[in-house]
Amino acid sequence: MDSGTDSLCTMVHIVPTHFFSPDLTSVGRMPMTRPLASRSGHDSISLDGEWRFQLVSSPDAAPEGWLEADTSASEWGPIEVPGVWTRQNTGDFPHYTNVVMPWGGNPPDVPIENPTGLYRTSFERPAGDRVVIEFGGFESMLVLWCNGKFVGMGKDSRLASSFDLTAFLHEGGNELAVLVSRWSDATWIEDQDHWYHGGLHRSVTLTTTSATWIDDVVIAADYDVQANTGSVDVTAHVGTMGNLAAGWTVSVSVPELGISQDVTIEADPENTGIATLTAAHEHPGRIGVAAFADLPVEPWSAESPRLYDVEVSLLDPEGKESETIALRTGFRNLRIADRTLFINGAPIMICGVNRHDHHPDTGKTLTAEEIREELVLMKTFNINAVRTAHYPNDPVLLDLCDELGLYVLVEANVESHARQTSLTASGLFDNAIMDRVRRMVLRDRSHTCIIGWSLGNESGEAPVHAAAAAWIRATEPTRYVHYEGGFNKNYSHRGEGRQQQREAAPTAIERLISDVVCPMYATVDQITSWARWAEETKLDDRPLILCEYSHAMGNSNGGLSDYWEAFWSEPALGGGFVWDWRDQGLREHADDGTEWFAYGGHYKDDPNDVNFCINGLVDPDLRPHPGLHELKWLARPVVVTVDDDWLTVASRRSHRDTSDLIIRWHQEVDGVPTGHGGLLDIDPVEPGESLRIPRAELVAGDGVGGFNTLIFTVELKHDTSWASAGHVVAHDQHIEDVGTATPLADAKSVSSTSEELVSTLDPRPTVWRAPTDNDGVSQGWLGEVLGVRPFWISWGLQTADLPHSSTVTPHADGSVHRVDEIVIPDDWSDVPRVGMVVDVDPRLGNLRWFGPGPGETYPDRRSASLISTWESTVDDQYHPFVFPQEHGAHVDAHWFELTDESGAGLRITGHPTVIFSARRHSDDALTNATTLAELTRHDAIEVHVDAAVRGLGTAACGPDTTEEHIVGPGTYRLEWTITPIG
For the chain, count helices (H), then strands (E).
15, 55
Residue of 323, 415, 548, 570 marked active site: 548
**Cβ-Cβ contacts under 8 Å for 108 (sequence gap 6 or more):** 20, 21, 22, 185, 188, 428, 429
**Pairwise CA distance, residues 301 & 197, whole Å:** 36
Residue 155, CA distances (Å) to 7, 99, 625, 678 in order: 21, 21, 36, 58
Strand 346-347 vs strand 340-343: parallel, antiparallel, or unpaired? antiparallel
Output the CA–CA distances (angstroms, integers) from residue 497 to 28, 528, 757, in the order listed: 49, 19, 53
Question: What is the DSSP track for 303-315?
Answer: SS---EEEEEEEE
Paired with 849 in beta bridges are: 870, 896
Q: Half-sphere exposure (CA, 13 Å, Cβ side) for 901? A: 1
Instruction: Measure the CA–CA gap between 782 and 776, rounded to whole angstroms.
Output: 6
Fill in the amino acid letter for 782.
L
Distance CA 99, CA 109 (A): 17
Q: How far is CA 28 from the centre of its chain?
A: 34
Nearest CA to 309 among 255, 260, 233? Answer: 255
797 in Cβ contact with 768 (< 8 Å): yes
CA distances 133 to 160, 184, 481, 585, Å, are 10, 22, 32, 32
Catalytic residue status for 458: yes
Q: Which of 207, 232, 202 is nearest to 217 (CA)?
A: 232
Strand 385-388 and strand 350-355: pairing? parallel
Which ranges of 405-493 does DSSP label H, i.e. alpha helix?
422-426, 430-444, 463-475
Q: Which of 97, 105, 94 is closest to 182 using CA atoms? A: 94
Question: What is the C-alpha separation between 169 and 752, in angstroms, rounded?
Answer: 87
Helix (H/G/I), strand (E/B), else coil: 838? strand
CA-wise closest residue to 194 among 415, 416, 356, 433: 356
d(CA 809, CA 528): 51
CB 256 within 8 A of CB 263: no
Please tell me the distance from the alpha carbon of residue 289 to that of residue 238, in angstroms, as a whole number.
11
Whole-angstrom Cα distance, residue 531 to residue 541? Answer: 10
CA angle 634, 637, 638 (to 5 degrees): 100
548 is catalytic: yes
According to DSSP H, which parts of 498-650 are helical? Answer: 508-513, 524-537, 560-569, 626-634
Helix locations, 707-834, DSSP H: 752-759, 780-786, 791-794
> What count of other Cβ atoms lies within 10 Å of the Cβ of residue 518?
29
3 state DSSP class of 412? coil
Question: Phi and psi for 32 in degrees, rounded to 5?
Answer: -70, 135
Q: Point out the catalytic residue in the list 80, 403, 458, 886.
A: 458
Is 145 within 8 Å of 176 (Cβ atoms)? yes
Contact (Cβ atoms closer than 8 angstroms) between residue 112 and residue 103: no
Rounded CA Rg of the chain? 31
Active site residues: 458, 548
